[in-house]
Amino acid sequence: MSRPAQTEKFQNPVVQWIDERLPIFTMLIKEYGVFPMPKNANYLWSFGGISLTMLIIMTVTGVVLAMSYVPHTEMAFDSVERIMRDVNYGWLLRYVHMNGASFFFIAVYIHIMRGLYFGSYKKPRELLWIVGVVIFLLMMATAFMGYALPWSQMSGWGVTVITSLFAKFPLVGDGIVTWLWGGFSVDNPTLNRFFALHFLMPFVILGVVFIHVWALHVTGSNNPAGVEPKSEKDTLPFHPYFTSKDGFALVAFLTVFLATVFFAPLALTEYDHFKAYDSMVTPPHIVPEWYFLPFYAILKSFVYDFTVTLSLLAMAGLLAAFPAAYVYFKKDVQKRNLAFKGVGALLGLLVLVTLLALVTANLEEPSLAAYLKVVIVPAALQGVLAMFGSILLLMVLPWLDTSPVKSARYRPVYKKCLLLLLISFIVLGYAGAQLPEGWPVIAGQVATIYYFAHFLVIVPYLSRKEKTLPVPNSIHEDPRCASKGK
């Protein structure tokens, strides 16, 4: 097949020569030059680009820091201090990297909240959203492993506590933890593998970000009105409109970031992070970095073991659900059968795990009372499952929220529920930093219940029942878009 003769697209002959062989300039113009952006996209849409910039800053400073860092338990802490004291500009690189992690999470949290508010996860952007959640998970893993590297009290004990969570899994738990550690305690093999993976992960994230951006450029960006662009009147070319807008947002964000780096570099960290790791002394109050606190609070919110007694009660409840479903779905046989199957499956699962727990239980004095107290799912395992579940839940959000209206602007009730979600997330963050006693535990539990209820009950319910406000026909007919300009 013969190619059609190419017309000269670029005036610069070097650019033209390269582009005929590798159409990188054509691609750049298509994706970042004339790429149509909804013209009403506000500054919240800048946080994707800001996040990418933070990723690049973290990767570059990280690679250079790795040149002076020694991943050995005997030398890691001192090598970080050598970076702080002796390496030229080492203190700057370290503070940028340390605070950069926090600001990366700030940018990403805003980016996620924007997605939740304006329904950016909905059709046709489901895959884009899921890839985004994958990036978030990878970031959390990377940040966690990076926190271990200075080998401080917070590093060593943070690793100990979080890796020990895996011991809560039945049967395989202890094996997993020993495997993660590469030994019988958090020690040099652990530090070495954490360093190797921490160095690798940013590049993996960059790859997934590429997929994220690729998917974005297939569907195009969502916008505050939540209606897809219909004509050229609805969009503006990415350059110069959004290059200038994102550019300003980026510089403003970096100004706040740099102010923290230069004037309050320790504001977001713990004082115990400046004590070398001592495997014989645990600090009295051990907390993860702030960006993990909400999830840490979810973990700590589960304090009751799921025993045989509770299991029997739950079984009774499920049995009662059969006649209830029979009455509720009287007219729709299909739905009734579906409900029966669902309840039946849950019941079967409960019976199975209860029997398993009873059979494997090793009781000294078997009696009815003792059997009733047998633990099926310990509180700690519930916490671990809930913590991971709270993030995985985001992946299925596109199918939990089936409302055809994207933007929360036109969903008055959803908007209020989302505010509650944000508040409960902040409450969780606060509770996560407190000692697990007294009212912070209760506050954390209430917030945890809301977090899960929001996604599993409220969102699906509102999808069907909420009375939404009229959505504008198109972006340029949106009165809020038109009134903004002048």
Partner 1 sequence: MYKKSLPLVLAAFVAFAAPAPAVAAEALAPPKQHWAHQGAFGTYDKAALQRGFQVYKEVCAACHGMKLLSYRNLAGIGYNEDEIKAIAAEYTVIDGPDDEGEMFERAARPSDRFKSPFANDKAARAANGGALPPDMSLMVKSRHHHENYLFALLTGYTTPPETDAEGEPIIVPAGMYWNKYFAGNMIAMAPPLVEDGVSYADGTSASVEQMARDVTQFLAWAGEPHMEERKQMGIKVILFMLVFAGIMLAAKRKVWAAVH
Partner 2 sequence: MDSTKKHQADGETRRDFLYLTAGAMGAVAAGTAVWPLVDSMNPAADTLALASTEVNVGSVEAGQTITVVWRGKPVFVHRRSAAEISEVRAEAWQELRDPQSDQSRVKSGHDEWLVLLGVCTHLGCIPMGSKVTDVKGDYNGWFCPCHGSHYDKSGRIRKGPAPTNLAVPPYEFISDTLIRIG
Residues forming contacts to partner 2 in the complex (CB under 8 A) are: 60-61, 64, 67-68, 82, 85-90, 92-93, 247
Residue 87 contacts which entry, partner 1, partner 2, none (Cβ below 5-8 A, type-dependent): partner 2
- Applying CB under 8 A, the residues found at the interface with partner 1 are 39-40, 42-44, 78, 81, 84-85, 91-92, 95, 106, 109-110, 113-114, 117, 224, 236, 240-241, 244-245, 247-248, 251-252, 254-255, 258-259, 261-263, 265-268, 270-275, 284-285, 287, 290-291, 293, 409, 419, 422, 425-426, 429-430, 433-435, 480-486
Beta strands 375-377 and 36-38 are unpaired
- What is the DSSP track for 444-477? HHHHHHHHHHIIIIIHHHHHHH--PPPPPSSGGG
Catalytic residue among 152, 221, 403, 407: 221
Nearest to partner 1 of 136, 306 (CB atom) = 136
The CA distance from 190 to 4, in Å, is 58
Residue type, 14: V
Confirm whether 86 is a catalytic residue. Answer: no
- Specify whether 111 is catalytic: no
Q: Closest CB to partner 1 among 84 and 358?
A: 84
Which is nearer to partner 1, 184 or 263 (by Cβ)? Answer: 263
284 contacts which partner out of partner 1, partner 2, none, CB within 5 to 8 A by kind? partner 1
Alpha-carbon distances of 117 from 134, 225, 379, rounded to whole Å: 20, 11, 33
152 is catalytic: no
Nearer to partner 2, 5 or 67 (CB): 67
Q: Minimum distance from CB of 354 to partner 1 (Å)?
A: 39
Provide, rounded to whole angstroms, the least separation between the CB of residue 156 and partner 1: 14
- State which amino acid sits at residue 60: V
Cα separation, 152 vs 272, in Å, equals 7
Report the residue number, 11 or 483, with the smaller CB distance to partner 1. Answer: 483
Sequence-ordered list of residues with C-beta below 8 angstroms from that of 324, at least 6 positions apart, any chain = none
Whether the CB-CB separation of 149 and 199 falls below 8 Å is answered with: no
Is 217 designated active site?
yes
User: Half-sphere exposure (CA, 13 Å, Cβ side) for 485?
Assistant: 6
Decide if 279 is catalytic: no
How far is the C-alpha of 296 from the C-alpha of 192, rounded, in Å?
25
CB of 67 to partner 1, least distance (A): 19
Taking the complex as a whole, how short is the minimal distance between the CB of residue 217 and partner 1, in angstroms?
Answer: 22
The tokens describing 105, both together, are: 């999470």
Q: Which of partner 2, partner 1, none binds 452 (CB below 5-8 Å, type-dependent)?
A: none
The three-state secondary structure class of 226 is coil
Catalytic-labelled residue, pool 78, 81, 217, 273: 217
Residue 12 three-state SS: coil
Please report how close the Cβ of residue 258 comes to partner 2 at its closest, in angstroms: 10
Residue entry with tokens 């509650």: 420
Tell which residue, 450, 153, 378, 182, has the closest CA to residue 277: 153
d(CA 151, CA 274): 9
When CB distances are held under 5 to 8 angstroms depending on the partner's kind, the choice from partner 2, partner 1, none that residue 127 binds is none
For the annotated catalytic residues, the residue numbers are 217, 221, 245-246, 289
